[in-house]
Amino acid sequence: MDEETLSHAFEPFFTTKAPGRGTGLGLATAYGIVRQSGGAIAILSERGKGTTARIYLPLKESTLGAEAKKTVRRRPWPGAETILLVEDDARVRKLIAGLLKTRVTT
């Protein structure tokens, strides 16, 4: 996205798609949810190369009782995080998911 488009990315009903192809509510909704959760969202975009949305959410303290906390197992290894992949084109989503799985297992 160019800077002008990027400056409007989180505005409700802003879209670069043709009429009938989108409502322009996706990023505005994501922004609202992330901000209400105490987080932040950043869009990194380079024209002709692609766009990345990064979502930062605060760590939430557990509300489990002391007894339940004893049974919670923590993952002892780094790199066991969950990746949320969002892509509306099924072919691109499948390709990226395959690449991520290859990187994770090798």
11 phi, psi to nearest 5 deg = -75, 135
- What pLDDT is attached to residue 75? 56
68 phi, psi to nearest 5 deg = -70, -35
pTM for the full predicted model: 0.50
**Residue 36: left if φ>0, alpha if ψ -120 to 50, beta else—which one?**
alpha
Average pLDDT over residues 17-22: 80
Cα–Cα distance for residue pair 85/80, rounded to 1 Å: 15
Report the half-sphere exposure of 60 (CA within 13 A, side-chain side): 7
pLDDT per residue over 21-63, tens digit each? Answer: 878 788 888 899 999 989 999 888 888 888 888 999 888 766 6
43 beta partners: 53
